[in-house]
Amino acid sequence: MSASAPAGTRPSGRAPAIPVPASGRLLRLELRHNVMLWLLPVVGVLFWYNGYREVMALPPMWNLRAMTLQNRLLLDLVIPAVGAAAWMGSREGRRDMTDLLGVTARPRWSRQLAAWAATTAWAEAGCLACIAVVYVMTARQASWGGPLWWPAAVSVAGVPPLTAIGFAAGALFPSRFITPLITVAVFFGFAFSTQATSGDHSNWQISPLISGAFNVGAAPGVATFYRYLPDLSIAQVMFTVGLTAAVLGGLGLPAANGPRLRWLAAVVTAAGLGAAGTAVTLAGTGRLDPHGMIVIPALHDPASGQPVSYTPRCSGTAIPVCVHPAYSVVLPAVTAAVGSELTELAGLPGAPARISQVPVAYQQSSGNTTSIIAALPSPSAFVVPDPVPGQPGATSAEFAGQLAQSLGLQLIIDVVLDGSGRGADLNPSQAELAVIGGSVQFPSSVEGRDLPPPFSRLRDAPGSPVGLAARRFAALTPAARHDWLEHHLTALRAGQISLAELP
Amino acid sequence: MILRLVWLHALSRRLPAALALLAACAAGLRGTLYGHWDAYGALQLPLIIEAACAAVIAVTAGSPFGEPERATGRWLPFLRLGAAVALTALAAGLLAAAGTGMPLAGGFPDVLRNVAGLTGIGLLCAVLLGGPLAWIGPLTYSLAGVYALYTDWHPPTLSTPWLWPGRPPHDAGGALCAAGVFAAGLIAFAVRGARENANQ
């Protein structure tokens, strides 16, 4: 309706200080009369319900929250954004005004682009508001690092293709049913496109919902020790821009008035298809790097693969436990899980003076699986189990159990077996086995099959002589166990202590 | 006379087109069930298609005549009621038939509960927002339902019966909530009809 006003005239009212071109006034009108504005509360509620609560329940680590946000936010935006765009796109046809507006000075494509731009602007406003809330809250809570902008950029770039597809469908098929149908179709295609992803060479990684390697996703160890690699994000942004251009260009092919506009629409469509196709091809050349991110050779900057410098955060325990500062939030859980072992072993021969966290390495296995390799370079190194408490499906008890099985067991083995248990076949004496079993505080969830063969007996046969001796030893306080080991460790290692001599 | 009235009412609400779309949704469900989906897909796919059916039914609520139609006689509430009930039953039946012999999660009870509840939301939206915008309710709710199904694997599980898609198929609480919403939607729609909005 606004476009029916002759170009160069303005509505009644005070003249603006700076003359606004007709297209600007058209956009302003579309912004004021756009259904997406009224759907912003729906966006807010959906995001709060589906995304925000889950994102904010994660530990305050930038990588976890930013990468999870990329996955959640666009899903919450699909239905309102596509629906609003289809509704706006079908407006002229729904109101039987196509012929009436066809005689105005503005080409139909121009009018459509103004309505699409206004719809997209409001959808982007909602998207940016959601990102801002999560990032501001995370900035106040995170112990280290700064915002990851690439996941946010992909989310922002993912909105225009959604509105473009919805708008084009509404404009081309202005039926009363088109809005719900195209909304469901886009949601279906968008949400389930990730199901086809398989391995690090999959072209389906181009989906803007995928942040990082598909099978690794938002893991604590990704983009912590090494910088976030933007390779996949760049391809995803290229794809969304290309798809948007292709759809909007295609919309202009039948709507453009005159050969020049039609040529322009054709060029935009071809360029968009080219960019989108190139991005899909590039995504298919990706490979999983050892740090858990996707490297795309054509887009990769070798300088971005350098490790991040940081000052570790250490606990005040008898043996200090030092972690990457991003992991500060889980340091209390780590020290609680192995606190008694640290007290018991501090200062004994073979015990480390300090324990430091090292990163894990990721490796693409056959099919759609990824191996996580924990290569410990020294007895004083350990890896923090993944997932950490707060991540979906992870509990504090499971986290403590994994630490007891890995760090706790390795510490006591290194001391009691004098390091001979590392990388070699374990063959402890019965007394050594009982001391090891009595020192490690295995949670009840740990079963025999979770432990290396010699120690599985401790869980499988708790009533055996070794098991009973281990229970006696475990009944002592960590300080008492420390005192006993301080005086008897040499004899224990030499095999001169029997089960009966254990306290 | 009555039959002609019913036929004209059905035509004015685009019921033949809606029937074709419901059949297309059922065919789409059948087609997707041939695919290999993980647990998420297997559970969430039917809900999305059920939401599409409910949105189609809700959109038919809009009247092209507006106020003059209300003054034509006493049959209009019954025509609205009959059309909504018939379409809902057809949608549930078509989707259940499409899932016959296929691994349709939840089976017929799940389909019936979800379609009825989502349609109830759509009819309430039609009363409040108008027929053309009635799709907002079922589609928005379906996203919350998809999330409720997701939390079955990622605790804390959303166990409120008001999010019935996340409840087991034979759960009484979820079924009661869905039935209540469907009844409320039917009554409100039959009595008030869809809101007429000149801007739509």
Residue A16 is predicted with a pLDDT of 60
Q: What is the pTM of this model?
A: 0.87
The closest CB to that of A195, out of B38, B144, B155, belongs to B38
Q: And the tokens for A33?
A: 């009369």
Summarised one tens digit per residue, pLDDT across range A277-300 is: 999 999 999 999 999 999 999 999
Residues A284 and A182 occupy one common structural domain: yes
Answer yes or no: is A5 within a domain.
no
Answer yes or no: is A68 within a domain.
yes
Extents of the domains making up chain B = 2-192
Q: And the tokens for A236?
A: 């995803």
Give chain A positions within 8 Å (CB) of B144: 46, 49-50
CB contact under 8 A, A392 and B147: no
Q: How high is the ipTM of this complex?
A: 0.92
Q: How many domains does chain A have?
A: 2
Answer yes or no: is A362 within a domain.
yes
A287 beta partners: A295
Residue A314 is predicted with a pLDDT of 94
Residue B177 is predicted with a pLDDT of 97
Answer yes or no: is A4 within a domain.
no
B62 part of contact set with chain A, CB < 8 Å = yes
For A415, list phi and psi in degrees, rounded to 5: -80, -50
A367 part of contact set with chain B, CB < 8 Å = no
B146 part of contact set with chain A, CB < 8 Å = yes
Chain mean pLDDT for chain B:
90
Give chain B positions within 8 Å (CB) of A76: 143
* Higher pLDDT pick, A100 / A122: A122
Torsion of Cα atoms, A33 then A39 then A43 then A49, to 10°: 160
Which of A305, A324, A340 lies at the terminal end of a domain, its last residue?
A: A305
Average pLDDT over residues B176-193: 95
Q: How confident is the model at residue A90 (pLDDT cuts 50, 70, 90)?
A: very high
Lowest mean pLDDT among A97-101, A350-354, B180-184: A97-101
Summarised one tens digit per residue, pLDDT across range A104-114 is: 777 888 889 99
Contacts of A33 (CB under 8 A, 6+ apart): none
Average pLDDT over residues A255-265: 84
Residues A205 and A334 occupy one common structural domain: no
Average pLDDT over residues A58-64: 94
Residues A285 and A318 occupy one common structural domain: no
Average pLDDT over residues B121-127: 96
Q: And the tokens for A422?
A: 């590392």
Residue A426 is predicted with a pLDDT of 66
Residue A5: pLDDT above 50? no
Question: For residue A74, what are the domain limits?
Answer: 18-305
Which of A305, A321, A356 lies at the terminal end of a domain, its last residue?
A: A305
Q: What is the DSSP letter of A381?
A: E
Residue A193 is predicted with a pLDDT of 82
User: How far B46 CA lies from chain A's nearest CA (Å)?
Assistant: 11
Cβ burial, residue A260 (10 Å; 0-12/13-18/19+)? exposed
User: Of the segments A155-169, A439-453, A485-499, which one has the largest average pLDDT value?
Assistant: A155-169
Residue A26: pLDDT above 80? yes
Residue A3 is predicted with a pLDDT of 41
Residues A117 and A190 occupy one common structural domain: yes
Residues A272 and A366 occupy one common structural domain: no
Residues A199 and A56 occupy one common structural domain: yes
Residues A190 and A319 occupy one common structural domain: no
Which of A285, A305, A325 lies at the terminal end of a domain, its last residue?
A: A305
Residue B60: pLDDT above 50? yes
Lowest mean pLDDT among A166-170, A435-439, B43-47, B172-176: A435-439
Q: How confident is the model at residue A303 (pLDDT cuts 50, 70, 90)?
A: confident
65-124 in chain B: CB under 8 A from chain A = none
Answer yes or no: is A11 within a domain.
no
Looking up tokens 């602007």 gives A121
Give chain A positions within 8 Å (CB) of B46: none
Choose from B135, B149, B153, B197 for mutation: most chain A CBs within 10 A. Answer: B135
**B14-B19-B23 Cα angle (round to 5):** 150
